[in-house]
Amino acid sequence: MNRELRQAWLRPLSLVVLLGLLVVCLKVTAGWWRGELSLAEDGNWVWLVLFPVLLVIWWRYFSVFGCKEPACLLPEDEERK
């Protein structure tokens, strides 16, 4: 598998995995917030700890607010790059 093809598949695949993990984390966090889940059972505390970490990863690498593509930059930022 050549490098371009691998990189073309890596970003969308990692986004799908990240969003799947975020859904599970959100489900556990909402259940804990409502008092339906205990953090001591089934390792729910792991999902609760992972939630902000995964949000930061999504915000930095996949959201429009963390975009580092040339199309996202202002014209003066492109010149500095």
pLDDT at 9 (0 to 100): 87
Residue 10 one-letter amino acid: L
Distance separating alpha carbons of residues 56 and 28, to the nearest angstrom? 18
Q: Is the pLDDT of residue 77 over 60?
A: no
Kindly state the tokens that stand for 65: 């607010």
pTM: 0.72
For 15-28, write each residue's pLDDT tens digit: 999 999 999 999 99
Q: Is the pLDDT of residue 81 over 60?
A: no
Distance separating alpha carbons of residues 21 and 16, to the nearest angstrom? 9
Closest CA to 17 of 60, 69, 57: 57
Q: Is the pLDDT of residue 1 over 80?
A: no
Domain chopping of the chain, boundaries: 3-80
